[in-house]
Amino acid sequence: MKLERILHPSDKAIAIIIGLGLCLYPVHSKNLTFGSSSDTYVFLPWVGFGLMLIGLICLFDNKWNDFKSNLGPKQIWIPLALIVASAFARVFVDRSMDTVASGALLAVFFGIYVAARKLGIRILWAFLPFVIIESISCIIQGVVDHGYRAGGLLTSFRDVEQTANYDIATCWLILGTCLVLGFNKGIKLRYLVLIAAALYFVAAEEALFALAGLGIAALIRNDISKKVIPIIVVIASCLILGTCFGVTQSIYNETSNKINAVVNDEPSVYGNSMDNATTGRVGVYKEAIKDASILGHGYEPTDFSTRTVHNVPLCIFDQLGIIAALCWIWVTVYCLFKTTWKYVWLSVIFLAVWDHYIFTQAGCWWWAIVGLSLTIPIQDKIFARKEPRVT
């Protein structure tokens, strides 16, 4: 009986396996790889990938009809398939194993989309503990290593070689939180208070941009209530205490310099004020457009640098070509307007403007969100949502 359960796990067990894989895949922290950056014994993203692959094999083993029945609407699965096909099509210009591996990776992500439709919200089970761990570690890191931006345990701590990876921490804290709120019944205000404090210490420009966009969206949608007050109090407390101890000035100094560069049109080592404000990203955008290729230059989900295009549509355009980029945009916009997962999709869009992790480090999340949002309706407001009555 036990062997039967192992060989043929239940859908609930498979959801747990895939959910854990989704959470491990973006964990690029050197602190959790049991070695230095050049001597990595356990690369957790590939552990996560392995778990997702195992889960898909268990779920759809010899069940092609079951797979087809969960493909969903053609206007979605066909564009998703075209993204995968764009990766495989690169064999015509680059007959390397890297090309085949990239296509196979995206094919697995397509399977995650189908699995999400079949398994439902249960695949998000692991996000809550992971988001809480990341939040608490960002706060501890911000207090102990005061004066420097926090990255948290799941990304990386600051060391003598590099700063903390506060960019991907932003993805965990904002998009991860939206997913947590999506599968939890009712609003858990304590989560939002914790996240607000963590985001103060992260201090990433990407976070400020996304939070501003989400705040405007909440105002437009009239999603405001007294539940916002504790969050405002926490943010105000962090700012006041942080300013008294000089923390706010230190971690937000770079942001202030970037704003001043744009306002005063100050040139920099990057060439102009906009490049200075975006740490050279506008220049990389221009290079990607100038060096455009129909089939792109190859998908790089883990090998990225300052030369990687830090904008998701342009990153896809650069790596997989124009067809894949247009398909990503179509699916994202479609899901924004056709599903109730408004804040999740708004987070995806805002976070995609100045970085690439929604397509690279956390690329598997996007495919899972597509499947879930098109299948399961959720309460589409956070603060003004109607709570079910307890009888």
For residue 213, the model assigns a pLDDT of: 95
- Report the alpha-carbon distance of residue 352 to residue 358 in Å, rounded: 6
297-307 mean pLDDT: 78
Q: 255 or 322: which carries more pLDDT confidence?
A: 322
pLDDT for the residue numbered 3: 46
The pLDDT of 51-56, averaged and rounded, is 94
Least Cα distance to 153 among 263, 139, 127 occurs for: 139
Confidence label for 75 from pLDDT (cuts 50, 70 and 90): very high
The pair of structure tokens assigned to 133 is 């761990």
| Least confident window among 141-150, 254-263, 330-339 | 254-263
Check pLDDT > 60 for residue 387.
Answer: no
Mean residue pLDDT of the chain comes to 85
pLDDT of residue 265 exceeding 70, the answer is no
Question: What three-state secondary structure class fits 304?
Answer: coil
pLDDT digits (tens, 9 = 90+) for 150-175: 888 888 777 656 677 788 889 999 99
Look at residue 276 and tell me whether its pLDDT is greater than 80: no
**To 5 degrees, how large is the angle CA 283–CA 287–CA 292?**
150
Burial environment of residue 231 by CB neighbours within 10 A (0 to 12, 13 to 18, 19 or more): middle
Angstrom distance (rounded) from CA 312 to CA 314:
5
Question: Is the pLDDT reported for residue 275 higher than 80?
Answer: no
Could you tell me which residues come within 8 angstroms of residue 351 by beta carbon, excluding any fewer than 6 positions away? 170, 171, 174, 175, 206, 210, 357, 358
pLDDT band at 189 (very low <50, low <70, confident <90, very high): confident
Can you give the pLDDT at residue 1?
A: 45
Q: Which pTM value belongs to this model?
A: 0.90
pLDDT (mean) for 178-197: 78
pLDDT digits (tens, 9 = 90+) for 372-385: 999 998 887 888 76
202 burial level (CB within 10 Å; 0-12, 13-18, 19+): buried
Rounded mean pLDDT, 23-34: 78
Query: Residue 28 pLDDT more than 90?
Result: no
Q: Domain coordinates of the chain in residue numbers? A: 2-251+292-373
pLDDT of 281 > 90? The answer is: no
Phi, psi of 120 (to 5 degrees): 80, -155
Give the closest residue to 234 by CA, choosing from 139, 130, 344, 343. 139
Q: What is the pLDDT of residue 152?
A: 85
Q: What is the mean pLDDT of residues 4-14?
A: 73
Judge residue 158's burial from the number of C-beta atoms within 10 Å of its C-beta, 0-12 exposed, 13-18 middle, 19 or more buried: middle
